[in-house]
Amino acid sequence: MQDLKILCAASLIASVAFTGAAWAESEVDPALVEAAYSEDGKYFTEDDLPTYKVQEDGTVDWPTYSGFRRYHSECHVCHGPEGEGSTYAPALKKSALEMDYYDFYDVVVNGRERVNASEQSVMPAFGDNPNVMCYLNDIYVYLKARGTDAVARGRPRKKEPKTDAIREEENACLG
For the cut 50, the answer to whether the pLDDT of residue 114 exceeds it is: yes
Share of the chain above pLDDT 90, in %: 49
3-state SS class at 43: strand
Distance CA 102, CA 48 (A): 12
Q: Among 6-10, 106-110, 149-153, where is mean pLDDT lowest?
A: 6-10
Distance CA 67, CA 62 (A): 8
Q: Which of 10, 19, 18, 25 has its CA nearest to residue 147?
A: 25
- pLDDT confidence of residue 31: 54
For the cut 90, the answer to whether the pLDDT of residue 6 exceeds it is: no
Distance CA 119, CA 106 (A): 20
Q: Model pTM? A: 0.78
Distance CA 156, CA 66 (A): 10
CA distances to 31, 99, 157, 169 from 114, in Å: 31, 17, 39, 35
For the cut 80, the answer to whether the pLDDT of residue 2 exceeds it is: no
Mean pLDDT of 162-171: 96
Distance CA 57, CA 76 (A): 27
Judge contact between 138 and 110, C-beta under 8 A: no
Q: How many CB atoms lie within 10 A of CB 54?
A: 18
- pLDDT confidence of residue 98: 85
- pLDDT confidence of residue 119: 65
Q: What is the CATH number of domain 2-22+45-170?
A: 1.10.760
For the cut 70, the answer to whether the pLDDT of residue 22 exceeds it is: no
Alpha helices by DSSP H, listed for the chain, are: 2-9, 13-19, 30-33, 62-74, 76-79, 92-98, 101-110, 130-133, 136-147, 164-174
Per-range mean pLDDT, top range of 26-30, 88-92, 154-158: 154-158
Give the tens place of pLDDT for each residue, 78-112: 887 877 667 667 667 787 778 889 999 999 999 98
Mean pLDDT of 132-159: 92
Judge contact between 148 and 28, C-beta under 8 A: yes
φ/ψ of residue 167, rounded to 5? -60, -45
- The residue type found at 112 is R
